[in-house]
Structure 1
Amino acid sequence: MCTPMFITALFITARTWKQSRCPSADKWIGKLWYIYTMEYYSAIKKNTFESVLMRWMKLEPIIQSEVSQKEKHQYSMLLLLLSRFSRVRLCATPWVAAHQVPLSLGFSRQENWSGLPSPSSMHESEK
């Protein structure tokens, strides 16, 4: 039981050591936040903040998708590692069950991200 957790911790630690040279999503969002904040204050001074408000409305879904993509990636990698190294079957969430792992990661076509077999493969094994 400790081995999968240890391997998962090592994987996450090694991933943070190898930081890419590209700015992370957090830094990118911070820079955009600063730019739009400055535009907002300058628009207030000029009394023309309708266009800035429209930009902010377009920016919000982008920020949410960037953060959620990062969280989804971390969550899916953790599930992948735990399901491959532990004998405990993980519960499938709707998001996990809907996404199939690429074959290059060692999963069969019938297996979900959570490590649980799909309903069709369960029926085949009963035959």
Structure 2
Amino acid sequence: MPPFSSDQPHTILIAASMAYDAAALRRMLARHRFEVQTVGRGDEALAAVRGGNIALALLDVALAGSASLELCPRLQQASARPLPVFLLSSHTSDEERIRAQEAGAAAYLPMAFNAEDLAEKSCCTCT
């Protein structure tokens, strides 16, 4: 993979309310020259996105807000450039998948996803 240009974001944001173990994902994404930043609250996620170096946000549905998952579009609006948001859910359902799509999520994944699959999907989405 070619190096990032100086103005290209290269950080994957993980916004999860529970103690999320990002170690495996961090190692996998490092192979693709991505860094990982973790936060545990919506306001922290918004601040990170406003910082301008976020290439992709992984957002825990439990943090995303009520039924309309309002933090998803708020993150996208806070970014100066297009920001793909992947919603993560510990209890996936078709209804929640539809709400994620309506909220503008680029993907809807189970919380226990395969790090290699996500790394590949991230690379395709962020470049």
Give the alignment's TM-score, normalised by structure 1: 0.26
Structure (1 or 2) with the greater strand fraction = 2
Q: Using CA pairs under 8 Å that are at least 6 residues apart, name the structure with larger relative contact order, 1 or 2.
A: 2
Structure (1 or 2) with the greater helix fraction = 1
Give the alignment's TM-score, normalised by structure 2: 0.26
Higher CA-based Rg: 1
